[in-house]
Every structure is written in C-alpha cells, then in structure tokens.
Structure 1
Amino acid sequence: MGPDIGLLVVRALLGFVLFAHATQKLLGWFHGPGLGGATTVFEALGQRPGRRMAVLASLCELVAAVLLALGIATPVGVAVGTGTMLVAGAASTMRSGSRWNTGGGGEYPLVLAVVVATVGFTGPGGYSVDAVLGLATLEADVRVGAIAAAVAIVVAAFPIVRTRRELRPETRVARTG
C-alpha cells in the first residue's frame, strides 16, 4: 500500500508539472509566456520553426501529463514525457553553456526526465488505470520501462542533434547575416 501511494503522489506531481509546462506555453497560464513568447524562446533554443515546435512540445507534455497522472498506458506516457524533457534540458544546456538552472541550463527538465523514466521502471503502482486493467506487474514494468526509456532517448536524439547544429556559431551567423 505504501509504495502504491508514493507512486500515485509522484505520478500526480509529474502530471501537474507537465500540464503546467504545456499550458504556460500554449495559453500563458501559470505565469507562462503564451504561444507568442514560447515561439521566441523555442527559436532562441534552436528549435525551429519555433511556433510548431512549441505546439508539439506542449502537446507532448499534455499527453504525458494525462497518461502519467491517471497511470494509463504508462509506458507511452513515460516515453513521451522523458523524451520531451530530455530535449528541453539538452536545448537549455546547449544554449546557455551551463547545466545548472541558475545559469539558464537544463538541470530542471533533465531531473524531470529522470523521474519520469523512473516511473517506467517502477510501473504506475496499484492506484492506476493500468493496475485496474491488469497491465502493471513488476516483471513487465522493468522490461517495458527499459524499452520506454530507450525509445525516449532515441527519439529525443534527433531534435537534440538538430538543436546542436542550429546553435553552432556559424549557423547563427548564416541565419542572421
């Protein structure tokens, strides 16, 4: 019972944080920039076209938020949430030159990525839709968690590499010059 409650609390927190991140970008909720401001931020992070990438990231965060909070299709929520936060953390780190949040780096989204991935390895717990449907077992969760984390890393690698290319000094000069 204790671990199930702990996992419910972690999933609820992750669901709320991802929901808040998404609605900050899309709607300006929770003191966010809204889509116009998010577009500018995404462009500065090398995520082009900025508007499309801001919408895509927001939709991914919303999907992950719902799936994780409810504990339904948890491996999908883990893959989507982990991948999205890996891209956010890597882009922030590459742009700022610092890993740490205080220096504009990606420390915070990278920690979120690890916590979301951890849910993949533990499973959603007993208080989840997956458990009610009989889809959550420890043996399956470890294998499925590893697969979900691997999928997230592979999928995130493409926008991370693109971001790195976009943020190279010679690319920035070519865009502005």
Structure 2
Amino acid sequence: MTTTTNTEATTTDTAALESADGSALLGSDIGLLILRVAFGALLVVHGTQKLFGWFGGYGLSATAKGFGSMGYTPGRFFATLAGLSEVTGGVLLVLGLLTPLAAAIALGTMINAVHASWGQGFSGGYELPLVYALAVAAIAFTGPGRISLDHGRPWQRSGAAWGLGAVVLAVVAALITLAVR
C-alpha cells in the first residue's frame, strides 16, 4: 500500500512538471529559466537607468557625460548604444528568444563595462560586469532551456558551436567599440 501511494505521488508530481510538448521538465530547464530571467531583467534595469533614469539611474544626459569622461566619445552615442544593448539583450534573454544573439549583445556590452571599470579594481569596479559576462557566456553555450520562446522553433540554436560563435561575435563587437571610442 505504501509503495502504491508513493508511486501515485511521484506520477502526480511529474505530471505537474511537464513542458508544453508533454515531456518532463528537468531541473536544468528551471535553472536556466531563473538564470535567464534574473540576469536579463537586471540588464534591462541597467539599460533603462542609462536611457531614461528609471530605477534610480542618471538618465541619458548624465550617463553620456560619464561615458565621455571614460573616453567613449561621443558620450551620448556610446551611452545610447550601451543602454539599448542592455535593454535589447536583456529582453531577449528574459524571453529566451534568439538566445545566442542575446548573449552576444549582452556579453559585448559587459566586456566594455569590465574595461571601463578596470581601474576601479575588482570589488566595486569590474566585479559586477564580470559576473554578468560569465552568466551570459554560460547561457550562450547551454541555450535557453525548454521554457523559452526558442524551444522547438526552427531558429533554435544552442551548443558549443553556437556558444563559441556568440562569444566570438561579442569579443569582435567589443573590440570594435573599444577601437572607435
């Protein structure tokens, strides 16, 4: 009797954790959802702080002055580029849509953020952008998981080759940005 009850409970618990296609969701799918949504949403917050002054941010004019003082001239262009990249990459990560591209956008931006804050040292300097960079690089390789808009679509891409492609694209974009600033 105890065995039957445990089996029934296990079957019920598994049924509650099925994806839209009827397959059981794995802990990794839920973990990737949490990682994507958390880091994506935080990137959106940072981007809107730069662009609109939301969430206690400085807004575009003050952010542009800050970018100019860091050597990113014209400051307004680079502040807008950084803000739009954070918002775009963040929204795509939250949705799990075009994930390798989303990771490349976010990673390229974070490489520049690490560079810009390098002189401030690790703690209180480049630590936070480095954490973001590592998280989005991991997502580039793992893919978005099954709880995403990419899952099961013809455009879904993940794996080592796509992760490496996203990292290479991010590094090239970051280097171009650093070269023209």
TM-score with structure 2 length normalisation? Answer: 0.81
Cα offset, 1:136, TM superposition: 4.2
| Residues 4 and 145 of structure 1, relative CA distance in 2, 3 Å threshold | same
Of the two, which has the highest radius of gyration? 2
Cα offset, 1:107, TM superposition: 1.8
Check conservation: 1:15, 1:66, Cα contact below 8 A: yes
How far apart, CA to CA, are the structure 2 residues paired with 1:158 and 1:106? 20
Aligned to 2:105: 80
Q: Deviations over 1:3-49 (max 9, x none)?
A: 00000000001111110011101111111001111011111111110
5+ residue gaps in structure 2? 1-25
Q: Deviations over 1:50-85 (max 9, x none)?
A: 111111111111110111111111011011000011
How far apart, CA to CA, are the structure 2 residues paired with 1:135 and 1:3? 21
1:144 corresponds to which letter in structure 2?
W
Cα offset, 1:122, TM superposition: 0.6
2:120 corresponds to which letter in structure 1?
S
How far apart, CA to CA, are the structure 2 residues paired with 1:160 and 1:114? 20
Check conservation: 1:91, 1:160, Cα contact below 8 A: no
3-state DSSP class of the match of 2:109? helix
1:78 corresponds to which letter in structure 2?
A
5+ residue gaps in structure 1? 164-177
Matched, 1:71 2:100: no
Matched, 1:100 2:122: yes
Aligned to 2:168: 150
Cα offset, 1:100, TM superposition: 1.4
3-state DSSP class of the match of 1:26? helix
Aligned to 2:59: 34
Q: CA RMSD in A?
A: 1.5
TM-score with structure 1 length normalisation? Answer: 0.82
Query: Between Structure 1 and Structure 2, how many residues are aligned?
Result: 156
3-state DSSP class of the match of 2:54? coil
Paired-residue identity, %? 42
